[in-house]
A and B are shown apart, each in its own frame.
Chain A
Amino acid sequence: MLYKYIFKILFVLLFALTTNAQNLLIDQGTNADGLWCFPVDKEPNTYVYLSSDAHLALKENDLPQFSYMRYVLEKPSENQVNTITEADGGGILHFLVLYDTPKEKVDNAETFLRNKFKNDSIFIRGPVIFDKGRYTLVSSILNSESGVKENKIIGSGEAPILENSKLALSFNVDAVKSKLLLESLKMATPDVSLIFELSFSGLTDSYEATLDVDWSEVRKSQQASVGGNLYFLKADVGVSLDNLRRDSAIKLSSVGSDDAMESLVQTAYNKLIEMMYKKVPLEQLPKAEKGGVENMISSLLKSKGKQGKGNISNFSLNVAYKQKEHRTVGKTHMEFKGRSRIDRNHFITFNIGDLYKKYGSNESIFKDVPLWDPAFQQRDVYVGIDGTVEREFEKMINSVTVKIRKQHQDNSETIKEVLITKVSHNTNIGGISMTYLNHKDTNKSKWLEYEYQTIWKFIGGATYTSDWKIQSAAMINLYVPFERKKIELVGDLEQLKAQNVRAISTKISYDFFGNRNSESLTIYPTDKLTDKYFEITLPKGQDEIDYDVAWFFKDQPRLNKEGKDNYGLIFIDEIPEN
């Protein structure tokens, strides 16, 4: 019965490797004058090399395919105190990068191999064709989203697998980072590096071995150790497989020599990983899982002095592993014979370098641009209210209407108005404004000019409408259009008493924005004149009042005198002659 659960799989790899990949002999590589070269299986004297250099792609005119543009945008200021505030803006970094190998290096490597092996037939056919490529950005400026230190790799993705294929990258940074990046680019080793992580595969030396998997034991072991995680890093997967081997859930036996045991374990583990896990690139992780996996990567990056985890050597930071549904009963028997294909990683690091030193003044490479477009501008005109106006809302003023009129350079006209009352003033302190747009107002100083008018409504019905005034200031300041005036009554009451004056009646009248106001006072010779005066409100600039004084006598008819006063003084002891 047991037999029916045993699946026998025979892996004979020596002649079965019919993929398109180059069958380079991975255990037989040599560093030939700085270039790693590998012989190709069944092709005597033929070598391939690992690409060695990465650099910016060049245009036909030999300029690097690189640009760094900083832009400045105006933004609304919340600060109404300072007249110089921070503008908005940022930077856009764009470059194309590729990896290749200088011909001279290849020629030197070929000479090296020929001399080393005393064989002039050796030749280098070309570069290793990589199975897959990833890039990772190393930069504390471009990798940080928040501006604070983040132990995460944000910039990563697929990289070309063929030499000379370009990878285009673009980054948008905020205003502060754009300045920081510019300063960094002025240095010999700027804070922008790119790692190409290139995987290639090749054939190991010969081996023969068996691998037995007891799925019920696998299940038990995994139930005990998995916890709640759905995704793992390859390092954790390696630990898991080592544990399975220790728990005898998997058994690996080599037949004959153990010379290639390590390659064998690698091959067997890779086969098990294929059966038990699904590879998920970081960018394809579900949102909910991404944070957890990135934290695992961060922990791994930060881990210090730990012993190696598991038997997986070529782990990657760009891929997570998700456990597959697999069998839970029965056994699988696998036999491995011959060579096996194993994966290796090759890293090429690229740094932007001292581009600024060479091209800092070349505007096709480094440029600062103000993104000011008048069509998108608007003018805010604020209304400032003097404290006297505020006080007069209690006594004299019902409302103030402020109008602006803007004649645009395309001959169109904008008219806006705001109504200020005691209530609206109290709820919009400092925030009353009107806005006009830019209608082809190409002359900026003329665009800032506008006309304004104020209309005052007073308690009692009087109205004052100002003339249109031209100004360019950002604020229209409102001051009351009237002033208080004291009209004093002056005279010698003793003398008037001696002249048999019983009482003096004084009446004044004056214009107040279209209304005729009048007030009167009666004085007796026994009064104190210091307590007798008029306090009136006159439009600003208007001092003249009309007055009429009447003297009442004990023994003669009343006498009257009319006059005009500009000085605030009415003499009540100048009795006219009959």
Chain B
Amino acid sequence: MLQSIQAQLLLENSKQTIRLKDGIELNCYKAYSMTTIDSDTYYYLPTNINFPITKSGDKSYSLLVYKDENEKIKGAIMHWLVSWGLSKSQKNEAQLLLKSKAGSNAKLMGVVLAEKNKDDFEIQGKNKLSEILNKALASKGNVPLTPNSKIAVAYKFTKEDALKIDELFHNRKEQNETYIIMRFLVSFKKSNGSIYKKTIIIKQNLQTLIL
């Protein structure tokens, strides 16, 4: 008989935190099943926000500052494709680390199948770059619920903000203080049996994404 997989319900008190060699932190939880208790099956929460690499080898963002006929800056647009998730080698590394921490029978099944959270994407920060990015948000998609898929975000800057964005976007300090936030909903089961949905927040500063 096929082994049952509970992709949505995680046991609250089964958390295992592991850290990959590149610094990425993974929170893994055992999965709960109504029919079978499989204490060796783990899922990890969404992690590792990144700008995926395009086929041409570039990070998937573009900033275009445009000028008028007198070479004066007139405006700017920016487009991001942002993703989250682990690469195959990172997943393999995580599997090994989980075994060493939770026992040789521990199986990392993959990422939990999260649900959409309403305020799923946000730029956070008290610095100038965060303020301008929030102001310039023109349209965006949804945070993907599957790893290594992308959310598209489009910005349109006013003339005033366009004068600053090129410098601010490439300023390390500004990048470091600008956070990209993604939110997901994941179902957990408490030890007393009750079930609740928890907002899982992952964040990454812009500098880490760009470098």
A interface residues, Cβ below 8 angstroms from B: 26-34, 36, 39, 44-45, 50, 52, 116-117, 119, 122, 136-141, 143-144, 148-153, 180, 183-184, 187-195, 197, 205-206, 235, 257-262, 300-306, 308-309, 313-315, 344-349, 351, 353-354, 357
| Cross-interface CB contact of B113 among A29, A137, A189, cutoff 8 Å | A29
| Distance of B99 from chain A, by nearest CB (Å) | 15
B4 within 8 A of A: yes
**Alpha-carbon distance between A411 and B3 when the two chains are bound, in angstroms:** 90
Among the stretches B19-27, B150-158, B203-211, the one at the interface with A is B150-158
> 29 A–B contact pairs at CB < 8 A?
A28-B4, A28-B5, A29-B7, A31-B111, A31-B146, A36-B146, A116-B109, A119-B2, A140-B139, A141-B77, A153-B139, A184-B62, A189-B58, A189-B79, A193-B81, A195-B141, A257-B34, A258-B194, A259-B193, A259-B195, A260-B195, A262-B197, A304-B119, A305-B119, A306-B118, A314-B115, A314-B116, A349-B144, A353-B55
A138 lies within 8 A of B146 (CB):
no
A30 lies within 8 A of B158 (CB):
no
Known A-B contacts A190-B62, A300-B118; the reply to A137 vs B139 at CB < 8 A is yes
CB-defined contacts of B147 to chain A, threshold 8 Å: 31, 34
**Alpha-carbon distance between A308 and B66 when the two chains are bound, in angstroms:** 38
B141 lies within 8 A of A189 (CB):
no
CB-defined contacts of A26 to chain B, threshold 8 Å: 8
A345 lies within 8 A of B142 (CB):
yes
A32 lies within 8 A of B139 (CB):
no
**Per-residue 0/1 for B125-144: is the Cβ within 8 Å of any A Cβ (1 yes, 0 no)?**
00000000010111111111
**Alpha-carbon distance between A360 and B104 when the two chains are bound, in angstroms:** 54
**Alpha-carbon distance between A68 and B149 when the two chains are bound, in angstroms:** 27
**Alpha-carbon distance between A162 and B145 when the two chains are bound, in angstroms:** 20
Query: How many residues of chain B have a CB within 8 Å of chain A?
Result: 71
B interface residues, Cβ below 8 angstroms from A: 1-9, 34, 54-56, 58-62, 64, 66, 77-81, 88, 107, 109-111, 113, 115-119, 122, 124, 134, 136-158, 185, 187, 189, 193-197, 199
B109 lies within 8 A of A354 (CB):
no
Residue of B nearest to A149 (CB): B156
**Alpha-carbon distance between A561 and B60 when the two chains are bound, in angstroms:** 102
A151 lies within 8 A of B152 (CB):
no
List of 8 A-B pairs having minimum Cβ-Cβ separation, nearest first: A193-B152, A31-B110, A195-B141, A140-B156, A188-B58, A140-B138, A187-B62, A138-B152
| Cross-interface CB contact of A183 among B66, B150, B153, B155, cutoff 8 Å | B66
| Distance of B86 from chain A, by nearest CB (Å) | 10
B3 lies within 8 A of A347 (CB):
no
| Cross-interface CB contact of B138 among A122, A143, A180, A306, cutoff 8 Å | A143
Residue of A nearest to B144 (CB): A347
| Distance of A227 from chain B, by nearest CB (Å) | 20
A309 lies within 8 A of B116 (CB):
no
B116 lies within 8 A of A308 (CB):
no
| Cross-interface CB contact of B6 among A27, A32, A151, cutoff 8 Å | A27
